[in-house]
Each structure stands twice: as structure tokens, then as C-alpha cells.
Amino acid sequence: MTQMDTAETGQGSASDTREPGTRAGSPAAGTAGTWHAGIRRAIRIGSRPGPWKRGLVLAAPALLLGLFLLLHAKIPNGIGGLGSLVETFLPWFGLFIPVLLAGALWRRSSSAVVALLVPVVVWLNLFGGLLSDKSHPGSDLMVASHNVGADNPDPAGTAHDLAASGADVLALEEITDRAKTTYEKELAKAYPHHTVQGTVGLWSKLPLSDTRPVDIKQDVGPRADTKSAEDKMPYNRALRTTVTTDHGPLAVYVAHLGSVRVNPREGFSTGHRDRNAQALGEAIAAEKNERVVLLGDLNGTMDDRAFAGIASQLHSVQEAAGDGFGFTWPAKFPVARIDQILVRGVKPESSWLLPPTDSDHLPVAAGIIW
């Protein structure tokens, strides 16, 4: 009897640890566990950020990118030419948009996606017009321009390729004394009229007149310590002439503006080029002929504030009648259009790139009508 009493007493002690009114394995115990688990799950779901709260870290740079593109002209140029540097490669900042979009989709963030609309709209406003083909067949006159390169190993081949383009008026920049005779010889058959002023020249199937060099305020003499073949060349780098056409006289300018440099001490150094651009703009402003074409290597894009004086008078054929951005430099992997054809008083019908030569620039061409 004593052992039985002890066993019963032990069982009673164990049963005292259960919740009152429940037994192990009873339906009530299972319901309570499910209830507590449901509450914990609801708390976790409620504490998760919604689609408008997720990805705020991504929304912030999206808005900043939009403001950056919108206000690029406000970026100061006094700090290492930062403004001009940004504007030279401005279209490429659009590559940040798909990167941010991928992050927004991964985070399933509505706020980040909506914020991305700002840079998308601004970028399309700036460059969307270049994405479509605006060219039309036919023209009254075909013009072309090419920086043939001071270090071009095959000027004869380059001249042959350019003549094969069929251009009526052909401008060349960066002509060395050594290669000048070669270009004159190779182009003589296709172009009976030509002029070379320093390092720039114009070859034409139509008569030329009133030809003269243009003073674009070049620095006096090349730097003796430079290693660049271009910098060691003579410093007459612009000309003006009149092309006689069936529709009347056409004033043609050919220019090769000063080079830009990137170095740790000065940043994006554009002083030489900017002085050239200002002087060229003044020369064009003084031009009495209503019909003007500017051909040349301007060493900058038309988004660059340095060309405001020129852009206010002339219009880019690539923007008006091109297909795409028409990047020309460097030839192996072009990232910027620094070789330009600009017009006034005539209408561009088409604009395109010619096949590459042995130069580090790509040739550009355009068809114009009266």
C-alpha cells in the first residue's frame, strides 16, 4: 500500500504542471499553439515595409541622377573643368538608369521605380531625339569632314577612301607637312579645287573663292616639351572660303580647335580650346553670307557649354538629320562626337559616319539642300 501511495503521489505532482483544464495531446492545447503562432506571424507581416517603404535608399540616387542631368549646366567649370568634362560624356550617365531599375525590381520597390521616372524623362528630353532615324534620301550637296591624324601611317589610303565617299566638299584637319603633298596628289583627280591653310584644308568639286585663314587665337608656337605630333604642328588651324554652287555662294569654315587634356594638377584642361571656340564664334557672327557650313574637329561635343556661342548660330546636322549619337572618337571605341558638321541657312537632309580610316577619328558626312 505504501508503494502504491508513493506512485500515485508522483503522478499527481506531474499532472500539476499542466495548464488547468487541459491535458497533453488535447484539442485545446493544439488550438492554443496555433493561436500563438498566428499572432507571431501577423506581427512579422505587419512589421515588414510595404512596396512604398522598401528601396528608399535606391530612390534617393535616382532622384539625384535626375537632378544631375537636369542641372548639368550649373556644375561649376572652375574646379578642374568639371562642368565641361561632365557635358562631354553626358549621354553615358543614362547607363545608371537600368542599373537602378534592376535594383528597384529586385527590391520590389514602388518608390524607387517611380523615382526613376525623373532621370528617364530628363534623359529622353535631352537625347531622345537622337534615337530615331531622321534622315531623308537625296541632297543638293554632300559635305564631309575628317581629322586624318598626324600619325596616320597611310595618308594615301585615307585619301582614296575619302574620295570614294563621293563628297562634293571635303574638309581635312591635322594635315602634316609630310602628308600634305600626298593628300594633294591623291585627291587632285576627284577634286580640282582645293586650299590648305596650315593644318586644315578643303577639297571641292566646285570652284572656291575668297579663301583666307581665320584667326582663332591660337597660342603662340607649339610647346617644346610636348610629345604629341599634333602639338608640334604649325598653329594655323582654321580657314574660310566660298564654294560656288548652282544655288548661290556657300560660306564654308574648316576648323581644328585646340586639344583638351586631363591631368591630376589641372583636371580637364580646356582653356586653349575654349579660346578657339570663342574666336571662331565671333568670326561666324561676322559672316555676311546667310548660308554657312562649319566642318571640323572641335575637340568637344555640342553639349559642352564652351560652344554656346557657336551653337546659338549654327545647328548640328546630327541632331537634325542623323541616326543615333554619331560618336566619332576614339575610332576603335567611339564615346563622344567631337567631329562636327554645323549649318546655317541650308537644311540638312541626312548625316552619317563614313567607314574608318587609319586615323583615330571617324569621318563624318552630311547631305544638305537649299
The 3-state secondary structure of 158-217 reads HHHHHHCCCCCEEEEECCCHHHHHHHHHHHCCCCCEEEEECCEEEEECCCEEEEEECCCC
Query: Which residues 6+ apart lie within 8 Å of 229 measured at CB?
Result: 150, 151, 176
Nearest Cα to Cα of residue 158 among 10, 359, 369: 359
Residues 151 and 232: their CA atoms lie apart, in Å, by 12
Identity of the residue numbered 154: D
Give the angle 327-331-334 at the CA atoms, nearest 5°.
35
CA neighbours within 13 Å on the CB side: how many for 303? 24
Instruction: Kindly tell me the burial class for residue 224, based on how many C-beta atoms sit within 10 Å of its own C-beta (0-12, 13-18, 19 or more).
Output: exposed
Paired with 256 in beta bridges are 297
In contact, 120 and 101? CB cutoff 8 Å: no
Nearest Cα to Cα of residue 309 among 300, 317, 318: 300
In contact, 165 and 141? CB cutoff 8 Å: no
In contact, 261 and 302? CB cutoff 8 Å: no
* 141-369 CATH fold: Deoxyribonuclease I; Chain A (3.60.10)
Give the angle 195-199-203 at the CA atoms, nearest 5°.
30
Residues 254 and 297: their CA atoms lie apart, in Å, by 9
Domain with CATH 3.60.10.10 in the chain: 141-369
CA neighbours within 13 Å on the CB side: how many for 323? 10
pTM: 0.82
Q: What share of the chain is helix, strand, coil (3-state, %, to 5)?
A: 40, 20, 40
Question: What are φ and ψ of residue 343, in 5° steps?
Answer: -135, 160
For cell 499553439, the residue is 33
**Strand 238-245 relative to strand 248-256, pairing:** antiparallel
What ranges in 48-194 are assigned the alpha helix state H?
Answer: 56-70, 82-88, 96-107, 110-127, 155-163, 177-187
Nearest Cα to Cα of residue 49 among 107, 97, 126, 116: 107
Residues 237 and 231: their CA atoms lie apart, in Å, by 11
In contact, 299 and 274? CB cutoff 8 Å: no
For cell 610636348, the residue is 226
Note down pLDDT in tens along the chain; length 370 residues.
444 444 444 444 444 444 444 455 555 556 666 766 666 665 554 445 566 566 788 999 999 999 999 999 999 998 889 999 999 999 999 999 999 999 999 989 999 999 999 999 999 999 999 999 999 999 999 999 999 999 999 999 999 999 999 999 999 999 999 999 999 999 999 999 999 999 999 999 999 999 999 999 765 444 444 445 554 455 689 999 999 999 999 999 999 999 998 887 778 989 999 999 999 999 999 999 999 999 999 999 999 999 999 999 999 999 999 999 999 999 999 999 999 999 999 999 999 999 999 999 999 999 999 9
Q: Any idea what DSSP says for residue 17?
A: T
Residues 313 and 123: their CA atoms lie apart, in Å, by 24
What pLDDT is stored for residue 94 in this prediction? 97
Nearest Cα to Cα of residue 169 among 195, 136, 148: 195
CA neighbours within 13 Å on the CB side: how many for 79? 6
- Mapped onto helix, strand or coil, the DSSP state of residue 297 is strand
- Mapped onto helix, strand or coil, the DSSP state of residue 136 is coil
What pLDDT is stored for residue 38 in this prediction? 63
